[in-house]
Amino acid sequence: MKWKKQILGLQPYQPGKSIEDVKKEYQLDSIVKLASNENPYGYSPKVDEALKNFESSYVLYPDGNASEIREVTASVLGVNEKQLVFSNGTDELIQIISRAMLEHGKNTVMAKPTFPQYRHNAVIEGAEVREVELIDGYHDLHQMLLEIDENTAIVWVCSPNNPTGSYTPKKELQAFLEKVPSDVLVVLDEAYYEYVEEPYDSLPFIEKYPNLVIMRTFSKIYGLASFRVGYGISSEENIQRLESARPPFNTNVLGQLVTSVAMTDQDFVAESRQRNALEREKYYHFCREHNLHFYPSEGNFILIDFERDGDEIAQFLLSKGLIVRSGKALGFPTSARITIGLEEQNERVRNALKEIMVNV
Ligand SMILES: *Cc1c(COP(=O)(O)O)cnc(C)c1O
Protein backbone atom coordinates (compact mmCIF):
# COMPACT_ATOMS: atom_id res chain seq x y z
CA MET A 1 0.00 0.00 0.00
CA LYS A 2 0.97 3.61 -0.43
CA TRP A 3 1.94 4.74 3.07
CA LYS A 4 3.89 7.97 3.35
CA LYS A 5 7.49 6.84 3.47
CA GLN A 6 7.99 8.80 6.73
CA ILE A 7 5.40 6.59 8.45
CA LEU A 8 7.36 3.44 7.67
CA GLY A 9 10.29 4.59 9.80
CA LEU A 10 8.22 5.64 12.84
CA GLN A 11 7.38 3.70 15.98
CA PRO A 12 4.01 4.16 17.67
CA TYR A 13 4.11 5.90 21.06
CA GLN A 14 5.14 3.38 23.73
CA PRO A 15 2.93 3.95 26.74
CA GLY A 16 4.46 3.12 30.13
CA LYS A 17 3.29 0.04 31.97
CA SER A 18 -0.19 0.36 33.42
CA ILE A 19 -0.89 -0.11 37.11
CA GLU A 20 -2.74 -3.34 36.29
CA ASP A 21 0.22 -4.76 34.31
CA VAL A 22 2.61 -4.13 37.18
CA LYS A 23 0.24 -5.57 39.77
CA LYS A 24 0.03 -8.82 37.84
CA GLU A 25 3.68 -9.05 36.90
CA TYR A 26 5.11 -8.41 40.37
CA GLN A 27 2.25 -9.67 42.54
CA LEU A 28 2.04 -6.34 44.37
CA ASP A 29 -1.03 -4.66 45.86
CA SER A 30 0.13 -1.10 46.02
CA ILE A 31 1.36 0.43 42.80
CA VAL A 32 2.20 4.09 42.35
CA LYS A 33 2.40 5.59 38.87
CA LEU A 34 4.85 8.48 38.73
CA ALA A 35 5.64 8.31 35.03
CA SER A 36 3.40 10.77 33.18
CA ASN A 37 3.31 13.87 35.38
CA GLU A 38 -0.34 13.66 36.31
CA ASN A 39 -1.49 15.53 39.41
CA PRO A 40 -1.20 13.28 42.51
CA TYR A 41 -3.72 15.49 44.34
CA GLY A 42 -6.36 14.67 41.75
CA TYR A 43 -8.64 17.44 40.51
CA SER A 44 -11.00 20.06 41.86
CA PRO A 45 -13.82 18.54 43.97
CA LYS A 46 -16.19 20.74 41.95
CA VAL A 47 -15.61 18.39 39.02
CA ASP A 48 -17.22 15.40 40.76
CA GLU A 49 -20.15 17.60 41.68
CA ALA A 50 -20.62 18.65 38.06
CA LEU A 51 -20.35 15.07 36.78
CA LYS A 52 -22.98 13.91 39.27
CA ASN A 53 -25.36 16.59 38.12
CA PHE A 54 -24.64 16.13 34.43
CA GLU A 55 -27.86 15.86 32.50
CA SER A 56 -27.64 15.62 28.79
CA SER A 57 -27.76 13.18 25.96
CA TYR A 58 -24.77 11.17 24.84
CA VAL A 59 -26.48 10.69 21.48
CA LEU A 60 -25.85 14.16 20.13
CA TYR A 61 -22.52 15.52 18.94
CA PRO A 62 -20.78 17.83 21.42
CA ASP A 63 -20.70 21.61 20.96
CA GLY A 64 -18.13 21.95 18.18
CA ASN A 65 -17.36 25.47 19.32
CA ALA A 66 -16.67 24.37 22.92
CA SER A 67 -18.58 27.51 23.94
CA GLU A 68 -18.71 27.01 27.69
CA ILE A 69 -15.02 26.29 28.26
CA ARG A 70 -14.18 28.98 25.69
CA GLU A 71 -16.14 31.58 27.64
CA VAL A 72 -14.69 30.56 31.02
CA THR A 73 -11.09 30.37 29.75
CA ALA A 74 -11.35 33.74 27.99
CA SER A 75 -12.66 35.30 31.16
CA VAL A 76 -10.10 33.72 33.53
CA LEU A 77 -7.16 34.57 31.23
CA GLY A 78 -8.48 37.94 30.11
CA VAL A 79 -8.30 37.21 26.39
CA ASN A 80 -10.84 37.38 23.59
CA GLU A 81 -12.83 34.19 22.92
CA LYS A 82 -11.64 34.28 19.32
CA GLN A 83 -8.05 34.02 20.51
CA LEU A 84 -8.58 30.45 21.72
CA VAL A 85 -8.54 27.06 20.03
CA PHE A 86 -9.46 23.88 21.95
CA SER A 87 -8.08 20.45 21.21
CA ASN A 88 -8.12 16.81 22.27
CA GLY A 89 -5.19 17.42 24.60
CA THR A 90 -2.30 19.61 23.49
CA ASP A 91 -1.03 16.52 21.72
CA GLU A 92 -3.73 17.16 19.15
CA LEU A 93 -2.92 20.86 18.98
CA ILE A 94 0.68 19.97 18.11
CA GLN A 95 -0.73 17.78 15.35
CA ILE A 96 -3.09 20.51 14.10
CA ILE A 97 -0.31 23.13 13.99
CA SER A 98 2.07 20.72 12.26
CA ARG A 99 -0.53 19.68 9.75
CA ALA A 100 -1.43 23.28 8.98
CA MET A 101 2.18 24.39 8.42
CA LEU A 102 4.66 21.61 7.79
CA GLU A 103 5.39 19.75 4.57
CA HIS A 104 8.33 18.52 2.54
CA GLY A 105 10.67 21.45 1.83
CA LYS A 106 9.92 23.19 5.13
CA ASN A 107 11.79 22.81 8.39
CA THR A 108 11.07 23.18 12.08
CA VAL A 109 13.42 24.05 14.94
CA MET A 110 13.27 22.61 18.44
CA ALA A 111 15.39 21.77 21.47
CA LYS A 112 16.93 18.38 22.16
CA PRO A 113 15.83 16.68 24.35
CA THR A 114 12.36 18.12 24.58
CA PHE A 115 8.77 16.90 24.28
CA PRO A 116 8.95 14.23 21.52
CA GLN A 117 5.63 14.99 19.84
CA TYR A 118 6.99 18.08 18.03
CA ARG A 119 9.50 15.93 16.20
CA HIS A 120 7.09 13.04 15.67
CA ASN A 121 4.48 15.20 13.94
CA ALA A 122 7.07 17.04 11.86
CA VAL A 123 8.40 13.71 10.57
CA ILE A 124 4.90 12.57 9.58
CA GLU A 125 4.41 15.79 7.61
CA GLY A 126 7.70 15.25 5.80
CA ALA A 127 9.40 18.36 7.17
CA GLU A 128 13.06 18.62 8.12
CA VAL A 129 13.68 18.62 11.88
CA ARG A 130 16.43 20.86 13.25
CA GLU A 131 17.31 20.00 16.83
CA VAL A 132 19.46 22.16 19.09
CA GLU A 133 21.05 20.62 22.20
CA LEU A 134 19.96 22.02 25.53
CA ILE A 135 22.54 23.85 27.64
CA ASP A 136 22.33 22.75 31.28
CA GLY A 137 18.73 21.72 30.68
CA TYR A 138 17.79 25.09 29.14
CA HIS A 139 16.89 25.90 25.54
CA ASP A 140 19.82 27.33 23.60
CA LEU A 141 17.71 30.10 22.08
CA HIS A 142 20.74 31.76 20.53
CA GLN A 143 21.61 28.65 18.51
CA MET A 144 17.95 27.99 17.73
CA LEU A 145 17.77 31.44 16.19
CA LEU A 146 20.77 30.61 13.97
CA GLU A 147 18.99 27.48 12.71
CA ILE A 148 16.08 29.51 11.32
CA ASP A 149 16.12 30.15 7.58
CA GLU A 150 13.58 31.11 4.90
CA ASN A 151 12.10 27.59 4.96
CA THR A 152 11.53 27.48 8.71
CA ALA A 153 7.83 27.33 9.54
CA ILE A 154 7.73 26.58 13.29
CA VAL A 155 10.02 26.97 16.30
CA TRP A 156 9.02 25.06 19.46
CA VAL A 157 9.87 26.36 22.93
CA CYS A 158 8.88 24.07 25.78
CA SER A 159 8.86 26.01 29.05
CA PRO A 160 9.08 24.48 31.61
CA ASN A 161 10.84 21.96 29.42
CA ASN A 162 9.90 18.31 29.58
CA PRO A 163 12.02 16.35 30.70
CA THR A 164 14.40 18.83 32.40
CA GLY A 165 11.88 21.15 34.05
CA SER A 166 13.85 24.26 33.05
CA TYR A 167 11.82 27.46 32.70
CA THR A 168 13.01 29.86 30.01
CA PRO A 169 13.68 33.26 31.65
CA LYS A 170 11.45 36.11 30.51
CA LYS A 171 14.26 38.33 29.26
CA GLU A 172 15.69 35.58 27.09
CA LEU A 173 12.33 34.62 25.68
CA GLN A 174 11.54 38.23 24.87
CA ALA A 175 14.92 38.84 23.21
CA PHE A 176 14.31 35.68 21.17
CA LEU A 177 10.80 36.74 20.11
CA GLU A 178 12.22 40.11 19.04
CA LYS A 179 14.60 38.40 16.64
CA VAL A 180 12.52 35.56 15.18
CA PRO A 181 11.29 36.59 11.70
CA SER A 182 7.62 37.57 11.89
CA ASP A 183 6.61 34.88 9.37
CA VAL A 184 7.95 32.07 11.56
CA LEU A 185 5.49 30.68 14.09
CA VAL A 186 6.80 30.34 17.65
CA VAL A 187 4.93 27.76 19.73
CA LEU A 188 5.44 28.17 23.47
CA ASP A 189 4.38 24.94 25.19
CA GLU A 190 3.36 25.85 28.72
CA ALA A 191 1.92 22.47 29.78
CA TYR A 192 3.44 23.04 33.26
CA TYR A 193 2.94 26.81 33.46
CA GLU A 194 0.68 26.58 36.50
CA TYR A 195 3.41 24.76 38.44
CA VAL A 196 5.93 27.60 38.09
CA GLU A 197 6.44 29.26 41.45
CA GLU A 198 7.21 32.76 40.23
CA PRO A 199 5.90 32.78 36.68
CA TYR A 200 5.97 35.74 34.35
CA ASP A 201 2.80 36.47 32.44
CA SER A 202 3.44 35.30 28.87
CA LEU A 203 0.00 36.35 27.59
CA PRO A 204 0.97 39.98 26.84
CA PHE A 205 3.53 38.56 24.37
CA ILE A 206 0.57 37.50 22.22
CA GLU A 207 -0.26 41.17 21.56
CA LYS A 208 3.33 42.09 20.91
CA TYR A 209 4.33 39.13 18.76
CA PRO A 210 1.55 38.06 16.36
CA ASN A 211 3.61 34.99 15.38
CA LEU A 212 3.30 33.44 18.86
CA VAL A 213 1.01 30.58 19.94
CA ILE A 214 0.89 29.57 23.62
CA MET A 215 -0.27 26.04 24.45
CA ARG A 216 -1.68 24.97 27.81
CA THR A 217 -3.45 21.86 29.05
CA PHE A 218 -5.94 20.47 31.55
CA SER A 219 -3.95 17.23 31.79
CA LYS A 220 -1.29 18.33 34.25
CA ILE A 221 -2.05 20.58 37.24
CA TYR A 222 -5.81 20.45 36.61
CA GLY A 223 -5.61 16.66 36.99
CA LEU A 224 -7.94 15.87 34.09
CA ALA A 225 -5.63 13.97 31.71
CA SER A 226 -8.17 11.31 30.84
CA PHE A 227 -10.66 13.88 29.51
CA ARG A 228 -8.15 15.07 26.86
CA VAL A 229 -8.55 18.85 26.68
CA GLY A 230 -5.83 21.34 25.81
CA TYR A 231 -5.90 24.77 24.23
CA GLY A 232 -3.96 27.33 22.29
CA ILE A 233 -3.89 31.12 22.68
CA SER A 234 -2.83 33.41 19.84
CA SER A 235 -3.93 36.24 17.59
CA GLU A 236 -7.42 35.94 16.09
CA GLU A 237 -5.82 35.54 12.64
CA ASN A 238 -3.65 32.58 13.66
CA ILE A 239 -6.51 30.94 15.53
CA GLN A 240 -8.74 31.22 12.45
CA ARG A 241 -6.13 29.35 10.39
CA LEU A 242 -5.75 26.64 13.02
CA GLU A 243 -9.54 26.30 13.24
CA SER A 244 -9.51 25.31 9.56
CA ALA A 245 -7.27 22.36 10.39
CA ARG A 246 -9.17 21.33 13.52
CA PRO A 247 -11.52 18.33 13.40
CA PRO A 248 -15.05 19.69 14.05
CA PHE A 249 -15.88 17.74 17.24
CA ASN A 250 -12.45 17.22 18.75
CA THR A 251 -13.36 17.92 22.39
CA ASN A 252 -16.12 15.82 23.88
CA VAL A 253 -19.10 16.75 26.01
CA LEU A 254 -17.67 15.55 29.34
CA GLY A 255 -14.27 17.09 28.66
CA GLN A 256 -15.91 20.43 27.97
CA LEU A 257 -17.99 20.16 31.14
CA VAL A 258 -15.22 19.24 33.59
CA THR A 259 -12.66 21.69 32.27
CA SER A 260 -15.04 24.63 32.46
CA VAL A 261 -15.69 23.77 36.10
CA ALA A 262 -12.02 23.12 36.90
CA MET A 263 -10.95 26.43 35.37
CA THR A 264 -13.06 28.33 37.89
CA ASP A 265 -11.35 26.62 40.84
CA GLN A 266 -8.00 28.40 40.87
CA ASP A 267 -7.69 27.68 44.62
CA PHE A 268 -7.21 24.02 43.79
CA VAL A 269 -4.52 24.96 41.25
CA ALA A 270 -2.68 27.13 43.77
CA GLU A 271 -2.81 24.45 46.43
CA SER A 272 -1.43 21.82 44.04
CA ARG A 273 1.39 24.17 43.08
CA GLN A 274 2.35 24.81 46.71
CA ARG A 275 2.23 21.18 47.76
CA ASN A 276 4.26 20.18 44.70
CA ALA A 277 6.94 22.78 45.48
CA LEU A 278 7.24 21.50 49.05
CA GLU A 279 7.69 17.90 47.92
CA ARG A 280 10.06 18.90 45.13
CA GLU A 281 12.30 20.57 47.73
CA LYS A 282 12.61 17.24 49.57
CA TYR A 283 13.89 15.63 46.37
CA TYR A 284 16.46 18.41 45.99
CA HIS A 285 17.59 17.77 49.53
CA PHE A 286 17.84 14.03 48.84
CA CYS A 287 19.88 14.59 45.67
CA ARG A 288 22.31 16.94 47.42
CA GLU A 289 22.70 14.51 50.28
CA HIS A 290 23.58 11.70 47.88
CA ASN A 291 25.57 13.76 45.40
CA LEU A 292 23.17 13.14 42.54
CA HIS A 293 22.93 15.60 39.69
CA PHE A 294 19.44 16.93 39.04
CA TYR A 295 17.93 19.78 37.06
CA PRO A 296 16.12 22.33 39.21
CA SER A 297 12.55 21.88 38.01
CA GLU A 298 9.64 24.26 37.67
CA GLY A 299 7.34 21.32 36.90
CA ASN A 300 5.89 18.41 38.87
CA PHE A 301 8.72 16.08 37.89
CA ILE A 302 12.43 15.82 38.45
CA LEU A 303 15.16 14.41 36.20
CA ILE A 304 17.85 12.79 38.34
CA ASP A 305 21.16 11.45 37.03
CA PHE A 306 22.13 8.21 38.76
CA GLU A 307 25.24 7.70 36.62
CA ARG A 308 24.07 4.22 35.70
CA ASP A 309 21.66 2.73 33.21
CA GLY A 310 18.31 4.53 33.50
CA ASP A 311 16.42 1.37 32.51
CA GLU A 312 18.01 -0.41 35.46
CA ILE A 313 16.83 2.28 37.86
CA ALA A 314 13.32 2.23 36.39
CA GLN A 315 13.25 -1.57 36.47
CA PHE A 316 14.33 -1.70 40.10
CA LEU A 317 11.69 0.83 41.13
CA LEU A 318 9.12 -1.14 39.13
CA SER A 319 9.88 -4.25 41.19
CA LYS A 320 8.95 -2.14 44.23
CA GLY A 321 5.67 -1.08 42.64
CA LEU A 322 6.91 2.37 41.59
CA ILE A 323 6.46 3.29 37.93
CA VAL A 324 8.82 6.05 36.71
CA ARG A 325 10.25 6.93 33.29
CA SER A 326 13.71 5.77 32.42
CA GLY A 327 15.74 8.64 30.98
CA LYS A 328 16.93 6.35 28.20
CA ALA A 329 14.01 7.04 25.89
CA LEU A 330 14.08 10.72 26.89
CA GLY A 331 17.65 11.46 25.80
CA PHE A 332 19.24 11.08 29.25
CA PRO A 333 20.46 7.46 29.32
CA THR A 334 21.74 7.47 32.91
CA SER A 335 18.79 9.35 34.43
CA ALA A 336 15.21 8.76 35.46
CA ARG A 337 12.32 11.21 35.32
CA ILE A 338 10.18 10.94 38.39
CA THR A 339 6.80 12.62 38.80
CA ILE A 340 6.56 14.33 42.18
CA GLY A 341 3.78 12.48 43.98
CA LEU A 342 2.17 12.55 47.40
CA GLU A 343 4.43 12.81 50.46
CA GLU A 344 4.26 9.08 51.29
CA GLN A 345 4.76 8.09 47.64
CA ASN A 346 7.88 10.24 47.37
CA GLU A 347 9.24 8.75 50.58
CA ARG A 348 8.72 5.30 49.12
CA VAL A 349 10.64 6.31 46.02
CA ARG A 350 13.53 7.79 47.98
CA ASN A 351 13.75 4.76 50.26
CA ALA A 352 13.88 2.46 47.22
CA LEU A 353 16.56 4.67 45.65
CA LYS A 354 18.64 4.45 48.81
CA GLU A 355 18.44 0.68 48.55
CA ILE A 356 19.62 0.62 44.96
CA MET A 357 22.46 3.01 45.69
CA VAL A 358 23.98 0.82 48.38
CA ASN A 359 23.59 -2.22 46.12
CA VAL A 360 25.78 -0.92 43.29
C1 LIG B 1 2.02 16.27 28.90
C2 LIG B 1 2.54 17.25 27.92
C3 LIG B 1 1.78 17.64 26.82
C4 LIG B 1 0.54 16.93 26.37
O5 LIG B 1 -0.50 17.08 27.18
P6 LIG B 1 -1.97 16.72 26.71
O7 LIG B 1 -2.41 15.69 27.69
O8 LIG B 1 -1.97 16.19 25.32
O9 LIG B 1 -2.70 18.01 26.83
C10 LIG B 1 2.28 18.64 26.01
N11 LIG B 1 3.47 19.20 26.23
C12 LIG B 1 4.23 18.81 27.26
C13 LIG B 1 5.55 19.45 27.46
C14 LIG B 1 3.80 17.82 28.13
O15 LIG B 1 4.60 17.40 29.11
CATH 3.40.640.10 describes domain 47-264? yes
Q: How close is the Cα of 270 to the center of ligand 1, in Å? A: 20
Alpha carbons 324 and 286: distance in angstroms, whole number = 17
Residue with CA at minimum distance from ligand 1 atom 11: 191
The segment(s) of the chain belonging to CATH 3.40.640.10 are 47-264
162-171 mean pLDDT? 98
Rounded-to-integer distance, Cα 13 and Cα 5, Å: 18
Is the model's pTM score more than 0.75?
yes
Give the mean pLDDT of 94-110.
98
pLDDT in tens, 54-67: 987 889 999 999 99
Which atom of ligand 1 lies at the shortest distance from residue 92's CA?
A: 8
Q: Over the stretch 132-151, which tens digit does the pLDDT of each residue have?
A: 999 999 999 999 999 999 99
> How many Å lie between the centroid of ligand 1 and the Cα of residue 337?
15
Instruction: Please tell me the predicted confidence (pLDDT) of residue 360.
Output: 53
Residue 53: CB partners within 8 Å, gap ≥ 6?
A: none
47 pLDDT exceeds 90? yes
Q: Which atom of ligand 1 is nearest to the CA of 217?
A: 9
Tell me the residue type at 350: R
Which residues line the pocket of ligand 1, CB cutoff 6 A?
Answer: 37, 89-91, 115, 158, 162, 189, 191, 217, 219, 225, 230
CATH number of 5-43+267-359, picked from 3.40.50.300, 3.40.50.1970, 3.40.50.2020, 3.90.1150.10: 3.90.1150.10
The answer on pLDDT for 191 being more than 60 is: yes
Closest atom, ligand 1, to C-alpha of 87: 9
Domain(s) labelled CATH 3.90.1150.10 in the chain stretch across 5-43+267-359
What is the 91 CA–ligand 1 centroid distance (Å)? 6
Can the peptide bond before residue 296 be classed as cis, meaning omega within 30 degrees of 0?
A: no
Q: How far is the CA of 219 from the centre of ligand 1 (A)?
A: 7
